[in-house]
Amino acid sequence: MGYSREIYESAERILAERRKTAENTAAERKSIFYSCYPEAKKIESALSKTAIAAARAIFSGSNAKEQLTKLKQENQMLQNRMNELLASAGHDPDYLEPPYVCKKCNDTGYIDGRMCSCMKKLLQAQAYENLNKLTPLSLSTFESFSLDYYPDNAENGRESPRRIMEKVFYNCQNYARNFSLSSPSLIMQGGTGLGKTHMSLAIANTAIQKGFGVVYCSVNNIITQLEHEHFGRDAQGDTDRLLLECDLLILDDLGTEFRSAFSCAEIYNIVNTRLMTQKPTIISTNLSLQELQERYTERFASRIMGDYVRVLFCGKDNRLQKRLRSHT
């Protein structure tokens, strides 16, 4: 499960910064504490000397056990006195130790040569960020979504587009608010410029704020990336695994990618695998179910129809309306 060198270097830089921050904090605390309690500095020096004496005793051979017992007792007495001084100042016993983010590996990323869980999470987080870095997540929220561009007039006895989109808006908002790993998968369908991308990005924003790992990508871009990795142009990539394992995957503009045997197989594999592992996915597309079946396969369309919740968008092209309004 290799990541690119860029991902490893980014994670290592973060860990190095964490260590530096923790060690600087400890040094600052010691400086202040020792200035107020000079005895504490003497105790620290004495503790260092007992550690050196213990190492010498081990290699001396003669009376090593007796010396080590005596040094252990002396060391414990010194620690007890240090804890008393810390307590008198209102501090915990570990106050002078570097406050590492990960207590298991002290922010090194490794324990006895094996990768720590914090390093694994950091690598994954950096990989998610790398995939999402070209996505304008901050620009699309529920707060910035406007229903003003949807007509309020009903036709042929049906509900108005605005009324329909009000329901879509509140259902998506509720989906995001209650998102969990057991949430259903969604397929957002409708013409160009009706808000599918905006709504899916708003859901992504909310899920990320709740601490979930989200990958948002256009199908066209992600297929290009997978082709580079599959055919050896980016052999260190790990995009496929991230797409399959992230908490929420959002595939935007399904159907706009260049159609090939590879792209169809990859899309089906992603959708099918995530369904089998019960990981939620959101797909946005301009294609109808009939067009999905014709472009991909009947089996693919069947999986979508049977296992995805359909969210239908209606109205007129919002982007076009915005451009027209800006020129009036």
The full DSSP string for 257-300 is: SPP-HHHHHHHHHHHHHHHHTT--EEEEES--HHHHHHHS-HHH
Chosen domain end from 89, 116, 143? 116
Distance CA 300, CA 148 (A): 35
d(CA 247, CA 225): 20
Cα(121)–Cα(127) distance, integer angstroms: 10
Mean of pLDDT values over 72-97? 90
Percent of the chain with pLDDT over 90: 46
Q: Are 141 and 214 part of one and the same domain?
A: yes
Q: Domain check: are 164 and 105 in the same one? A: no
Sort 47 into a burial class: Cβ within 10 Å, 0-12 / 13-18 / 19+.
Answer: middle
Are residues 101 and 170 both part of a single domain? no
Asked whether residue 20 falls in the same domain as residue 68, the answer is: yes
Are 37 and 85 spatial neighbours (Cβ–Cβ below 8 Å)?
A: yes
Q: Can you tell me which residue has the tokens 């414990």?
A: 76
Kindly state whether residues 158 and 75 are assigned to the same domain. no
0.85 surpassed by pTM: no
Reply yes or no on whether the pLDDT at 77 is more than 80: yes
Q: Are residues 57 and 186 in the same domain?
A: no
CA proximity to 221, closest of 134, 101, 94, 92: 134
* One domain, residues 71 and 199: no
How many whole angstroms separate alpha carbon 243 and alpha carbon 230? 14
Per-residue pLDDT at 138: 59
Share of residues in the chain with pLDDT > 70 (%): 87
As a whole number, the mean pLDDT across the chain is 85
Spatial distance between the Cα atoms of 107 and 22, rounded to a whole number of angstroms: 9
pLDDT of residue 231: 77
The domain tally of the chain equals 2
Q: Tell me: the pLDDT tens digits for 123-177?
A: 878 876 765 665 665 567 899 888 988 888 877 768 888 999 999 999 999 999 9
17 and 142 inside one domain = no
Q: What is the pLDDT of residue 324?
A: 45
**Considering Cα of 182, then 184, then 185, then 186, what sign does the dihedral take?**
negative
User: Do 195 and 290 fall into the same domain?
Assistant: yes
Q: 122 lies in a domain?
A: no
* Cβ neighbours of residue 258 closer than 8 Å, sequence gap 6 or more: 220, 223
pLDDT at 327 exceeding the cut of 50: no
Which domain, by its residues, includes 196?
134-326
**Residue 62 belongs to a domain:** yes
Average pLDDT over every residue of 66-91: 86
Q: How confident is the model at residue 70, as a pLDDT?
A: 79
- E strands within the chain? 110-111, 114-115, 185-189, 214-218, 248-254, 281-285, 308-312
User: What's the CA gap between 258 and 255, in Å, rounded?
Assistant: 8
Do 199 and 148 fall within a single domain?
Answer: yes
Which residue's entry shows tokens 């994954």? 124
Q: Which range has the top average pLDDT, 234-238, 277-281, 319-323? A: 277-281
- 221: CATH: 3.40.50.300
Residue 267 lies in a domain: yes
Residue showing tokens 């935007």: 252
Give domain status of residue 10, yes or no. yes
Among residues 134, 89, 131, 140, the alpha carbon closest in space to that of 318 is found at 140
Residue 236: the pLDDT is 53
> Could you tell me how many residues make up the chain?
328
Q: Are residues 96 and 173 in the same domain?
A: no
Question: Is the pLDDT assigned to residue 233 strictly greater than 50?
Answer: yes
> Is residue 129 assigned to a domain?
no
Q: Which of 60, 86, 116 is the last residue of a domain?
A: 116
Q: What is the mean pLDDT of residues 100-124?
A: 92
At 2-15, the pLDDT tens digits run 466 777 888 999 99
- Whether the CB-CB separation of 203 and 175 falls below 8 Å is answered with yes
Structure letter (DSSP) for residue 184: P
User: In this structure, what are the phi and psi dihedrals at residue 210, rounded to the nearest 5 degrees?
Assistant: -85, 0
Using the 3D structure, point to which of 87, 116, 145 is the last residue of a domain. 116
Q: What is the pLDDT of residue 1?
A: 38
Query: Per-residue confidence at 196, pLDDT binned at 50, 70, 90?
Result: very high
- pLDDT tens-digit profile of 259-303? 899 999 999 999 999 999 999 999 999 999 889 989 998 889 998
Asked if the structure places residue 268 within a domain, the reply is yes
Residue 125 lies in a domain: no
**Same domain, yes or no: 178 and 108:** no
- Quickly state the pLDDT bin for 45 (edges 50, 70, 90): confident
pLDDT at 2: 46
Residue 127 located in a structural domain: no
Whole-number pLDDT of residue 317: 67
Within 8 A by CB and 6+ apart from 238, the residues are 1, 2, 3, 4, 127, 229
The Cβ-side half-sphere exposure at 23, using a 13 Å CA radius, reads 9
Contact (CB, 8 A) for 107 and 18: yes
